[in-house]
Structure 1
Amino acid sequence: MGHREDLLEGAKRCLLEKGYARTTARDIVAASGTNLASIGYHYGSKEALLNLAFLKVTEEWGELLNKESGEARAEAPEAPAAPLDQFRDTWERVIGSYEQTRAVWQLQMEVISRIESDSELQKALAGPQRDGRVGLAENMLGIDPRADPEKARVAGLFCQALLAGVMVQWLMDSESAPSAQDLTDGLKAVLEGRAGSVG
């Protein structure tokens, strides 16, 4: 790897170990084995490097879940899962990864708290956030964004809102946080409650 890649890997490690606000340029240099001038040369600023590193960390987390989802589908290829089953199975993977990926969840919450005061961070996250919504709709609910982009968009908004809320609950109190079955039963109750009120 060259200095550019070393810096990115070092920044990713620092974000997961120290968080966004506490990571200094010197921390990144120490973690990457490079020098301070390399940050400016390759990325322009420490903040630009950290923004990219954060996107890479969240991409890798998403890729891990996608890989596990693909492996689960490959094990039972004969019939697609019913939407609620796919929803529950995906949440089992997300919640099951909590202990292993807690640092990623904490980092996401910290970055969210910084967006209001950091316009560059906000700009860096806008496109990936939209892409992430579509990915959530496909993985959690089996909605093909190519076949029905608007349905994928609105379902992705729902899934993204749910994901943020679940992360907060798990970080605050994992003992009372929702399980995959709780979330599935909750979604069923909402759908049944709405259906019951129409008649």
Structure 2
Amino acid sequence: MGHREDLLVGAKRCLYEKGFVRTTARDIVAASGTNLGSIGYHYGSKDALMHQALLESMKEWGDELGLALAHAASADSEPMERFEAVWTRVIELMDAHRMMWAANFEILANLDDLPEIRKVLADAQNQGRAGLVSVFLGVDGDGNEYLTRTVGALCQALLVGVVSQWMFDPDNAPSGRDLAEGLRALMAANRAD
């Protein structure tokens, strides 16, 4: 690996160990075995490197999730079975990526001080929604703006809510089955009206 890749690996490690805001350039240099000048040369600034580390971590989680979910529910399963299986697998993957989610929540709390990361995350949000459409419906979310805006946004809201519940109290956070049963109860209540 060259310095550029070493810096990114070190920045991701710092992101997971120290968080986004508390990581210094010196922390990254220590974790990567490079030098301070390498950060500016390869990334322009420590913040730009940390942005890249966060985006890479999120992409890795998304890729791992996509692979795991490819087998979580078959395309011919009933929609509620697929919903439950997908959420069960999402929740199983939370532990391995807990620090990435902690960094995301840290960034959310500091967005007013990080306008450049706000823009990056806002731009990535639609891509994430399209990916969630693909995962939950088994169709290409990139080509369907309506599904991305509706189903993708709903799944994203559920994801952030489930992640926050899981981070606060994993023992009492909802399971895939809980979410499916809750959705069934909501649908039944709406049919009764």
1:91 deviates by 0.9
Q: Is the 8 A contact 1:143 1:151 kept in 2?
A: no
Task: After TM superposition, give the deviation of residue 183 of structure 1 in Å.
Answer: 0.6
Question: Residues 57, 172 of structure 1: CA spacing in aligned structure 2 closer, same or farther, 3 A cutoff?
Answer: same
Q: Which amino acid aligns with 1:159?
A: C
Partner of 1:81: 77
Task: Please give the alpha-carbon distance, in whole angstroms, between the structure 2 residues aligned to 1:18 and 1:151.
Answer: 37
CA RMSD of aligned residues (A): 1.6
1:173 CA drift (Å): 1.1
Give the AA of the match of 1:186.
G
Q: Which runs of 5+ in 1 are unaligned?
A: none
Structure 2 residue matching 1:8: 3-state secondary structure: helix
Residue segments in structure 2 that go unaligned for 5+ positions in a row: none
Q: Identify the match of residue 189 of structure 2 among 184, 190, 193.
A: 193
Of residues 164, 167, 182 in structure 1, which corresponds to 2:160?
Answer: 164
Report what 2:23 is aligned to. 23
* Mapped contact 1:134–1:145 kept (Cα < 8 A): yes
Q: Counterpart in 2 of 1:106?
A: 102
Q: Distance in 1 between matches of 2:55 and 2:78?
A: 31
In the other structure, the counterpart of 2:88 is: 92
- What is the distance in 1 between the residues matched to 2:62 and 2:178? 22
3-state SS in 2 of match to 1:132: helix
1:99 offset after TM fit, Å? 2.3
Give the conservation status (yes or no) of the 8 Å contact 2:127–2:142. Answer: no
> Per-residue deviation at 1:157?
0.4
Matched residue, 2:112: 116
CA gap 1:183/1:129 in 2 versus in 1, 3 angstroms: same
How big is the shift at 1:42? Answer: 1.1
Q: How does 1:107-146 map to 2 (within 5 A)?
A: 107-145=103-141
Distance 1:18-1:94 versus aligned 2 partners, 3 A rule = same
2:2 matched residue in structure 1:
2
d(CA) in 1 for partners of 2:76 and 2:11? 39
Q: TM-score, normalised by structure 2?
A: 0.93
Q: Measure the CA separation in 2 of the matches of 1:96 and 1:13.
A: 22
For the 8 Å contact 1:144–1:152, the answer to whether it is kept is no
Q: Residues 84 and 141 of structure 1 are in contact (CA less than 8 Å); yes or no, is this contact kept in structure 2?
A: no
Deviations 1:87-133 (A, max 9, x none): 11111111112222221221221122122321111111122111001
Work out the percentage of aligned pairs sharing the same amino acid.
Answer: 48
Q: Which amino acid aligns with 1:18?
A: K
Name the structure 2 match of 1:178: 174
* Alpha carbons 1:12, 1:57 under 8 Å: kept: yes
**Superposition deviation, residue 147 in structure 1:** 5.7
Q: Please identify runs of 4+ aligned residues in structure 1 that moved more than 6 A.
A: none
Q: Give the alignment of 1:52-71 within 5 angstroms.
A: 52-71=52-71
Preserved CA contact (<8 Å) 2:14 2:27: yes
Whole-Å separation in 2 of the counterparts to 1:128 and 1:14: 22
Q: How many residues align?
A: 193
1:174 counterpart SS class: coil
